[in-house]
Chain A
């Protein structure tokens, strides 16, 4: 029993790590640009497929670095060409735009790489289990968690200390003032969007090594990421971080005791949070209206 719980806790941490990567990118875009990026899960899938295409050329390690960067570059172009056009309009338009974009990207993936699942090969060293007793934990799982920790720490340090990061945080609170102070807000938003896509692309490469590739691999992760943001508190990236881990763990632990409720539990958590603490666990008062 203990081993089963341990197994599911590690599972929960890993899936929570994916929620965190995806949700942090979503939250960045949501906070600064007031856009819900429905295509975020599709950027994740694209990251995975890019890695699949690059691995034969650059090998796994090259793909791990280049694929997220390609995703970020694509995000840059998409924001510039499409999403930046609707910032000044009612939010319903940006929602519809990213919704349509999600359809198109998913269809392009299906058309290019086929509707069936594809495996993404990982280095042999990573696919070994830790030890005979801990047979259910491969090095790859440890590796994924380590990469996610590095990426998230990097993102927080970037936002905390770099000039652009400070501007992004300031823009989240008051974009007009930041603009008046001479910051190129257009470029800031584009850059911010592509950071979000970078995180999604990285999550895609990591997820592809674990669960394989398919055109709608991001869909199952998108909704929990929304919930991670709602539970953690809109406007707080730290909240999103803990929200993602919380619902990942909660789902996994529920699997032990009552498997059919493992997906329901994250919605229950959301409902409870909305009832008892509408601004989310770490949300600022007033950020949600």
Chain B
């Protein structure tokens, strides 16, 4: 703690400095007051003396040259110390000042009267004083006048401070108002602007100066004004209005809707009258928009969440009830999740599988495939990977599964899991095998039907040479002594036997069941000739001439037995059609194109009616009379050609029937003799 006197002095000096008058230029009002003081007191000298730590400085003065004098031993120092009006009639006789330099030398002052300059909080910062070089005194009125002037000096000082502060505040608030994006204005009772901040310029594209004095409706636009007017009316009734409203402001002749938050603060005078109101308007459109957006997003989020939950429910339903197995494996191919279908397929419980690896249920020969599939899937960046593999069920049964697997990176650490969907295709494969078997059977049955159809002709082809053999053999004994005749007859017998061998061999080949996938390269000419052997009898019986033409002999990649069946069917149909014609002719044509082997079987028959053409490959469709055809020949032929990935079609050439069979070529690796 310091000396209270020192503290008081410090506060006093501080107060003086805060007045901001020390060492400032002369001020007319204060000069006037000092002049008044010297006139009232009839003294040649007067001054406003301000006392700081070390000196007395004269803010205004009359009759004195000096601007400042030392504080020590001065009258003013005494006045501020004492805090009361000091009147010294003759200083030379006053022991307190008789030795003061101002008395003894310099100004040689005899008379002194000083009134302390006291701040509103009671601190004495200096004095207003009058002086004379001759002794004298002041009347009571003069003293009171001097004291009044001293108060005016202080009013001046303190007003200046207040004014400075006011200006500073005004600048501050003015700057604030300039920087504010909100509209700040003062509206009078006629709804005219008395003040408007810079924000108006930005909002309405109108200079601030052009706003002052203008009706609000001219600036805001009629619509916005009318909408806000009820609030203004209430504000002018002295009731503060705080509200949010969407106003259609008129900007550049266009309506710009803005959501604003407005505050109308009535300007209530001391007599209770309302002169106008202060208006502060904030554009909260973006805020509202952001709020709406946030609301919308929250709604969307809620919907997404709901969808997500629905998806999750759907996924869970799929997972739980899918007929296909669904599993999740970790990177070591251990089960993480398995669905009931997977358990059902393999016969294990979920808890059992969760302690196992996928390799434990994979057929030993397919384990490498399974591992590679997971590896490949990882390398391919999670693209679905499909493969088939064998599983071993809990009971040791081998089943075949079709697997679709995908690797998913679960987190930033790169943890990968494999998700797979497994379909048990064991039964499907069995059905496919069964279907293939049925197909073979149907082809065979159709062949047998063809054989039945050809049996009459075949009988002739066998019986005739048999008749030769029988007859010649019976006559051998008779010509035993005629070597030439004997030789001729033996030769005839041999020829007849060859005929029978050929026809029986053809029949045997035709009747043979083709092994599935017994494909090889066969010369086209041999295929045609062998087929012709089988239908030759029929052709002879029906007196139809069957010929073949090769544009180019080549090998055909086919199943020999199956393709012969097609050719026999087509030739047989051709004979049936041609026998009704005068020409009675069937021509088999072969050509070897770059990519295809093409057979054409044309007949001289009446052709197939165009409205029936689309039906001819349907099973059991036939144009033959009852008992002549099964209606299966062409449908079986189509099935066989399809099996060769080829194409069979009907081409009508000048009203005549021509069936075209196209068999795709394969790279010839070796020729079959």
Answer yes or no: are A and B bound together in one complex. Answer: no
